[in-house]
Amino acid sequence: MPLNNIMTEKFLRSAYGGESMAHMRYLIWGEIAEKENLPNIARLFRAIAYAEWAHANNQFRELKDKKGSFSVSAGAVFVVGKTVENLQGAIDGELHEAQQLYPVYLQTARFQNEKGAERAFHFALEAEKIHARLFQEAKTAAEQGKDMELGTVYVCPICGHTHVGTIPGKCPVCGVTEDKYKTFPA
Amino acid sequence: MPLNNIMTEKFLRSAYGGESMAHMRYLIWGEIAEKENLPNIARLFRAIAYAEWAHANNQFRELKDKKGSFSVSAGAVFVVGKTVENLQGAIDGELHEAQQLYPVYLQTARFQNEKGAERAFHFALEAEKIHARLFQEAKTAAEQGKDMELGTVYVCPICGHTHVGTIPGKCPVCGVTEDKYKTFPA
Ligand SMILES: [Fe+2]
Ligand SMILES: [Fe+2]
Ligand SMILES: [Fe+2]
Ligand SMILES: [Fe+2]
Ligand SMILES: [Fe+2]
Ligand SMILES: [Fe+2]
How far are the Cα atoms of A12, A17, A25 from residue A63, in angstroms, in the given order? 7, 13, 24
What does CATH list as the number for B6-148? 1.20.1260.10
Q: Which residues fall within 8 angstroms of residue B173, CB to CB, at 6 or more apart? A: B122, B123, B126, B127, B156, B159, B161
Q: Would you state the pLDDT for residue B23?
A: 98
Is the interface score ipTM higher than 0.90?
A: yes
What distance in Å separates the CA atoms of residue A185 and residue A52, rounded to the nearest whole number?
A: 18
Confidence tier at B168 by pLDDT (50, 70, 90) = confident
Mean pLDDT of B2-17: 97
Ligand having the closest approach to the CA of A18 = 1
Provide, as residue numbers in chain A, all residues whose Cβ is less than 8 Å from the Cβ of B20: 17, 20-21, 23-24
Question: Which residues of chain B have a CB within 8 Å of the CB of A24?
Answer: 16, 19-20, 23, 53, 56-57, 60
Domain range summary for chain A, segments of one domain joined by +: 6-148
pLDDT in tens, B154-163: 999 999 999 9
Residues of chain A falling short of pLDDT 50: none
CA dihedral over A65, B90, A101, A138, signed as positive or negative: positive
CA-closest candidate to residue B100, choices B124, B71, B82? B124
Least confident interval from A40-54, A161-175, B21-35, B90-104: A161-175
Mean per-residue pLDDT for B83-95?
98
**pLDDT given for residue A167 in this prediction:** 85
Q: How far is it, in rounded angstroms, from Cα A106 to Cα B134?
A: 39
pLDDT at B1 over 90: no
* Ligand 2 centroid to residue A94 C-alpha, Å: 5
Handedness of CA A115, A119, A124, A130 (dihedral sign): positive
pTM: 0.98
Burial of A74 (0-12, 13-18, 19+ CB in 10 A): buried
- Alpha-carbon torsion A24, A29, A35, A41, what sign? negative
